[in-house]
Amino acid sequence: MLHIEDLHVKVGEKEVLHDINLHINEGETHVLLGPNGSGKTTLLMTIMGFSNYTITDGKILFKGEDVTRMHAHERAKRGIGMLFQRPPTISGLKLGKLLTAISRKKNEDIRALAQSVHMDTFLERDINKGFSGGEIKRSEVLQLMIQNPDFIMLDEPESGVDLENISLMGAAIGSLLEKDKHVINREKSGLVITHTGYILDYLETDRGHVMCDGQIKCHGNPREILKDIKQHGYKECLECRHE
């Protein structure tokens, strides 16, 4: 599904990602762990195609196609989607109006989808204006439900979400990633950034990576990596080499 080769990325004049290699197969969900400022969000924004992130070397292949130089909307149209940790507030733009704009199905029942993530009363509200942390995440999930990407990147889906809503988020994300299907029939893939790991209690994942100083330094079983990090902190975790 996603294949990243020797990727180097600059923000402004500074290189922030160095020699990233990552391979995510169809049906797999990977976890990206790492301390604050290690470059996790930068990687996601680069894969999505945000213009602030300049790829200086390497390439990104999606479903076998080179998307390295494509604009964000071209990547989105090919099936890449993202749940933002801190999406912008857009004054005057109603959530319902955006959902209609991104919907590609005729007569899609947007209200019913919104109800399923308890966002039906937000359709006439300006996007993210005065939304709580949990409401922002539910709005993001709702947009992804309508966008229905094949590869979903989730940047801290549990941050700002209370415990009661984490299970709702987990279930909605699980459904987006076809976790209800048998692994053989699963076509959707994902990449999740998490600090706390709470979301992993609700979302089955296949493989973990640890990022530090703009490099992926460690791979392995996500639960084991998380356990090590919880016990020893990132410093020691990075000194060890899984696999």
Q: What does the binding site for other proteins look like in residue numbers (CB under 8 A)?
A: 48-52, 71-73, 75-77, 81-82, 84, 87-88, 90-94, 97-98, 101-102, 104, 126, 143, 147
- Following DSSP, what letter does each residue of 40-62 receive, concatenated? HHHHHHHHHT-TTEEEEEEEEEE
Shortest approach of other proteins to residue 97 CB, angstroms? 7
Shortest approach of other proteins to residue 77 CB, angstroms? 5
When the beta carbons of 45 and 210 are compared against other proteins, the nearer one is 45
When the beta carbons of 62 and 84 are compared against other proteins, the nearer one is 84
124 SS3 class:
coil
Question: Of the candidates 15, 11, 23, which has an alpha carbon nearest to the alpha carbon of residue 64?
Answer: 23
What are the helix (H) ranges across 49-117?
Answer: 72-78, 95-102, 110-116
Shortest approach of other proteins to residue 220 CB, angstroms? 30
Shortest approach of other proteins to residue 51 CB, angstroms? 6
When the beta carbons of 64 and 88 are compared against other proteins, the nearer one is 88
Name residue, tokens 């160095």: 18
How crowded is the C-beta side of 139, counted as CA atoms within 13 Å? Answer: 28
When the beta carbons of 90 and 183 are compared against other proteins, the nearer one is 90
